[in-house]
Amino acid sequence: MIGILAGLLPLSLAAVPSDNGPQLSLAAVPSDNGPQLSPAAVPSDNGPALIRETLTNGMQVSILVDASQPLVATQLWYHVGTANESADNRGFAHLFEHLMFGGTKTHPKEEYAQLHHDAGGYENAYTSLDETVYVSLIVPAQHARVLELEADRMTSLALNEENLDNEKRIVIEELRLRSDNDPELRIFLAAQEAVLGDHPYAYSSQGFKEDVERASLAQARIFYKTYYQPRNAHLVIVGPVDGQAVLAQVRELFGKLPDRGERPAEVPPLLGHAYPREVIQLREDLPPVETAVLAFPLPVPGSADHWALEILAQLLGGSRVNPFEEDLVKTRRKAVYATSEWLNFRRGGVVVFAAAQLPYRRRATAFRFLDETLHTLGEFDWLSEEKVESAKRALRRRELERRYDANSQASAIGTAAWWQGDEMQAFESSAGLDAVSRGEVIRAWQRYIGEAEGIRVYLEPQKVPLYVRLFGWIYPLVTR
Amino acid sequence: MGCCGFALFSLTLVSMIVPAACAMELVTLERPDEGTTLFLVEDHRAALVSLILDFPAGSWSSWSDDHGGREAWRIQLFDKESRLRARADELSAELWLSAGARSSQLSLSCLKQDLPQALTLVRDLLEGRNFDRHQLRRWTREERLWWQAGQKRPATLRAAAAARRLYKAGDPRRRRWERPRKLERRVARLLQARDTIVRLRGRIIGFAGDLSPQEARELAKGLLPPAAETLPDGLAIDLPGSQVDSGPALDTEITLPGLNQVYLALTRESLCYEDEDWPAFLVADHVLAGHFYSRLYRALRHEGGDTYTAASSGRGSVETAPYSLETFTRVENAEVIEEKLRETLAVFSRKGITEAERRAAISHLEGARAFSRQSPGQILRRRIVEVRSGLEAGALDAQVEQAAALSLGEINAFIRAFYDRAHFMMIRVIPLAPSPAGR
């Protein structure tokens, strides 16, 4: 069925993390494989210019001067996320994100929000599997103040019981809203946990109510001192700023902070994790449609196959004609809906093929149809050199479209720096794409999908009315 | 303090000539014909062009209902062999067809170098006659499943209850919450409807991006068939008034199995653009429920952690909508939060806002306009919304200036009348039975 379910896949997965893995808890393991910056310098005369610097305390700074933007985007990336939580601490990274809006020793809790409000700006934050990011969009005249307040809350956050208790209650209401009271989200969170097992990506950023309730002020203080520090942070600024003046301000505000902070222990890659071999079957209070899901883990961003996989993702997930859907739904009519979703995280990706059918087929039959379609795709009669070139052009066009949006550019820089170790990857798709041939796209498919086992999940409604079953039996007869 | 690894890079990703901050303006070029308006927002930051074709046939019109206008518009992209969409992929172009409340729209975005071929594709699409009927059946099924899924969501049930209370059966503002009807599948009727839409007078061709006015004029020539002389009956949207006044007598309770929260909304009908109080409403709604430290957020989130969100929805636009002050909380806290919600509204109505709140709201509304001026496509779309709403150019931005001209006394007089609790009904979505243990 229907985008109802399949469309939610990325949503739930993107909001989810694990069990054993590296623990955020309180014993951090320093990492030595963080972003390495090149010392080269190329001045720019007329294009947006990227200024990059690593302060002596280890904090990364990227400033993209773009005079054409009306707003300045500021993103402060802390390289700690849900995947770094320990088994008894689910939801802590997200809870702490809330605490960061609680004011500091010298600034009341409303000040940061009020600054943005009065200027017509925007401020928010999000916690994902791999990072926690604080986002600001504001008119240039107020930008200096944003930096002051960000630097202030990196060192002087006011952590107290009253605020912690209040945010716990708020976070638990958010958790109930997102995880408990929506059947589709419930089943996808269950699927995520069942599929990923003890991988750190197995749980939602919302975490568990009991863990959130248990969170203490002492934990928060240690978490803050360990991870919310220059060595674990990347400040990204994009917009109509005087680059050198802003850099000087950043040095003044952040450069004087002590060199401390640790990277959480590295999360193991998705590729190579031991996944369940049997079909995971889950039931929920869903409309009368059953969905067979086949998922394949992918390598980390920046791997040798990175660009070939990006092209595959465009062809099978970003095109108007999706060969997977065409074969399964339109040509063979073996599903009422089919989709493929490509998800990327810092420690690997996942491609998800989902096919929905009315509830009359056997589970094994549904998976057989899925397998047949993937087999057909694996013969690559559908993939011409021209299609590969078109996919490359589509990816370049998307990169160009970011040019209109300071915040998107900041996200791309922050992601490239943290996930791939080089923010220039946010701007350099051309060389990588040019080098990919049709043969490499095919080899990437074979390596990660064609020759891989795949993870199988079957989603069912709890109740199917009899008339729906009857319709399901008649349906294939009348649609031949 | 200090630094290491300082680097400055020129980004050569695009042949970019960077203009000084945002001087993008929408210009209206001479009409390609009597029935067509041509807009251009010129922006040479990137070698990209967007095209919007907008036709004054909305899914809220009775004509669209009677002739299958909504599905006729969307199905054009789905020919039996998927050739049109395959051509869009070959051009690496984004191409969408959407049927909105007040207009039917085609949107295209592509690299500038592909624009001539992309426009040929658009012409072929608008003349296509090879509709895939199976796709209509799939959409019918999809819409019904979406609707069924919505019956398990508290927010959907709350919104549906509000619309049913306020509007008569058949009112488009209510129809979207009802079980979807079967889509028209007779190709001859769909073709007729599509051909009518494409020829409607009042249509808009809008370009945004890396084009000069001269290029836009040339490209617009022959893009559409000649406009028809007359408009069909039933095209104008005629919304009936609210079927009842809101108020406590209409309080409603909806049950849903398995919930561990209650969802509450104080609801009444909103205003609309043409209402003389609209500018005051903009300010009042913002102070009460429009930001992170609004009155509602303070009372229900920051001061007691009762909820995650407390905000307004359905503020209306060119037409009224069900306006709700909504929130949710754990079941055992339901009475507490309901009392706080009522009390916040009562105090707001009785005492109004302060001068500091008025100033901050105006400052916010003025500053936030920059968010709709980041890309040329945003500027173009905003103007098209104005046209379809019957507004002059710049009218949406001007609403803020009208709000800024109001005195505190004028705004508070409006608040006293509009936010009187007697005008609001309470809608509750509550669990059918106690929630499962452990949740």
A186 and A294 assigned to the same domain: no
User: What percentage of chain A exceeds 70 in pLDDT?
Assistant: 89
What's the mean pLDDT in A126-143? 97
Residues forming a β-bridge with A65: A49, A239
User: Do A193 and A14 contact (CB within 8 A), yes or no?
Assistant: no
Q: Is the dihedral of CA A271, A277, A279, A284 positive or negative?
A: negative
Q: Using CA atoms, how far apart are residues A90 and B245, in angstroms rounded to an integer?
A: 47
Task: Decide if A273 is inside a domain.
Answer: no
A230 and A92 assigned to the same domain: yes
Q: Using CA atoms, how far apart are residues A318 and A351, in angstroms rounded to an integer?
A: 13
Q: What pLDDT is recorded for position A7?
A: 41
Task: Decide if A263 is inside a domain.
Answer: no
Question: How would you class B436 by CB atoms within 10 Å of its CB: exposed for 0-12, middle for 13-18, buried for 19 or more?
Answer: exposed
Most confident by average pLDDT, A28-42, A352-366, A418-432, B199-213:
B199-213
CATH of the domain at A320: 3.30.830.10
Residues forming a β-bridge with B266: B325, B426
B229 Cα to chain A: minimum distance (Å): 35
A66 and A213 assigned to the same domain: yes
- Pick from B19, B154, B293: CB nearest A110: B293
Q: Which chain B residue has the Cα nearest residue A244?
A: B8
Q: Which chain B residue has the Cα nearest residue A141?
A: B367
Q: What pLDDT is recorded for position A358?
A: 82
Which amino acid is residue A214, in one-letter code? R
A242 and A292 assigned to the same domain: no
B14 neighbourhood in chain A, CB within 8 Å? 47, 400, 403
* A247-306 residues touching B, CB cutoff 8 A: 251-252, 255-256, 285-289
- Pick from B2, B77, B367: CB nearest A120: B367
Task: Decide if A275 is inside a domain.
Answer: no
Which amino acid is residue B240, in one-letter code? P
Task: Decide if A413 is inside a domain.
Answer: yes
Task: Decide if A262 is inside a domain.
Answer: no
* A427-456 residues touching B, CB cutoff 8 A: 427-428, 430
For residue B271, give the DSSP letter: -
φ, ψ dihedrals at B356, nearest 5°: -65, -40
What b-and-e string marks burial along A98-124, b requiring 16 or more CB atoms within 10 Å of the CB? Answer: bbbbbbbeebeeebbbbbbbbbbbbbe
A293 and A216 assigned to the same domain: no
What's the mean pLDDT in A304-326? 95
Q: What pLDDT is recorded for position A360?
A: 75
Q: What is the mean pLDDT of chain A?
A: 88
Residue A56 contacts B where some CB pair is shorter than 8 Å: yes
CA-nearest of B32, B119, B39, B3 to B376 is B39
A216 and A343 assigned to the same domain: no
Q: Using CA atoms, how far apart are residues B66 and B184, in angstroms rounded to an integer?
A: 10
Q: What pLDDT is recorded for position B350?
A: 98
A304 and A420 assigned to the same domain: yes
Task: Decide if A270 is inside a domain.
Answer: no
Is the pLDDT at A98 greater than 70, yes or no? Answer: yes
For residue A64, give the DSSP letter: E
B47 neighbourhood in chain A, CB within 8 Å? 400
- How many domains would you assign to chain A? 2
A169 neighbourhood in chain B, CB within 8 Å? 304-306
A142 and A73 assigned to the same domain: yes
Inter-chain CB proximity B89 and A387 less than 8 Å: yes
Final residue in a domain of this structure, among A237, A254, A271: A254
ipTM: 0.91
Q: Which chain A residue has the Cα nearest residue B301?
A: A170
What's the mean pLDDT in A27-49? 38
A185 neighbourhood in chain B, CB within 8 Å? none
Residues forming a β-bridge with A236: A62, A75
Query: Strand, coil or helix: what is A57?
Result: coil
Residues forming a β-bridge with B325: B266, B312
A407 and A454 assigned to the same domain: yes
Q: Which of A176-190, A292-306, B181-195, B344-358 is least confident?
A: A176-190
Is the pLDDT at A18 greater than 50, yes or no? Answer: no
A223 and A318 assigned to the same domain: no
Q: Using CA atoms, how far apart are residues A103 and A163, in angstroms rounded to an integer?
A: 10
What's the mean pLDDT in A60-87? 96
* pLDDT, tens digit (0-9, with 9 covering 90-100), for A441-472: 999 999 999 999 999 999 999 988 888 778 76
A390 neighbourhood in chain B, CB within 8 Å? 89-92
Inter-chain CB proximity A427 and B11 less than 8 Å: yes
CA-nearest of B133, B66, B135, B53 to B100 is B53
How does pLDDT run along chain B (439 residues), one tens digit per residue? 333 334 444 443 333 333 444 568 998 898 888 899 999 999 999 999 999 999 999 999 999 999 999 999 999 999 999 999 999 999 999 999 999 999 999 999 999 999 999 999 999 999 999 999 999 999 999 999 999 999 999 999 999 999 999 999 889 999 889 999 999 999 999 999 999 999 999 999 999 999 999 999 999 999 999 999 989 999 998 888 887 777 777 899 999 999 999 999 999 999 999 999 999 999 999 999 999 999 999 999 999 999 999 999 999 999 999 999 999 999 999 999 999 999 999 999 999 999 999 999 999 999 999 999 999 999 999 999 999 999 999 999 999 999 999 999 999 999 999 999 999 999 999 999 755 543 3
Task: Decide if A267 is inside a domain.
Answer: no
A96 Cα to chain B: minimum distance (Å): 15
A463 neighbourhood in chain B, CB within 8 Å? none
Q: Which chain B residue has the Cα nearest residue A45?
A: B10
Q: Using CA atoms, how far apart are residues B320 and B329, in angstroms rounded to an integer?
A: 28
Is the pLDDT at A46 greater than 90, yes or no? Answer: no
Q: What pLDDT is recorded for position A117?
A: 97
Query: Strand, coil or helix: what is B25?
Result: coil
Task: Decide if A264 is inside a domain.
Answer: no
Q: CA triplet B302, A126, A120: central angle to 5 degrees?
A: 65
A240 neighbourhood in chain B, CB within 8 Å? 21
Range of the domain at A397: 280-478
Q: Using CA atoms, how far apart are residues A339 and A292, in angstroms rounded to an integer?
A: 11
Is the pLDDT at A13 greater than 70, yes or no? Answer: no
Q: What pLDDT is recorded for position A6?
A: 42
Provide the 10 A C-beta neighbour count for residue B20. Answer: 8
User: Do B367 and A114 contact (CB within 8 A), yes or no?
Assistant: no
Q: Using CA atoms, how far apart are residues B297 and B303, in angstroms rounded to an integer?
A: 8
Query: What domains are defined for chain B?
Result: 26-220 (3.30.830.10), 248-431 (3.30.830.10)
Q: What pLDDT is recorded for position B6?
A: 41
C-alpha distance from residue A367 to each of A213, A350, A407, A408 (Å): 41, 18, 41, 38
Q: Which of A29-43, A79-93, A167-181, A455-469 is least confident?
A: A29-43
- Residue A377's contacts (CB-CB under 8 Å, 6 or more residues apart) are A316, A323, A324, A327, A445
A48 Cα to chain B: minimum distance (Å): 6
Q: What pLDDT is recorded for position A29?
A: 28
A44 and A112 assigned to the same domain: yes
Q: What pLDDT is recorded for position A479?
A: 60
Q: Which of A12-21, A74-83, A112-121, A382-391 is least confident?
A: A12-21
A211 and A288 assigned to the same domain: no
Residue A2 contacts B where some CB pair is shorter than 8 Å: yes
φ, ψ dihedrals at B266, nearest 5°: -90, 120
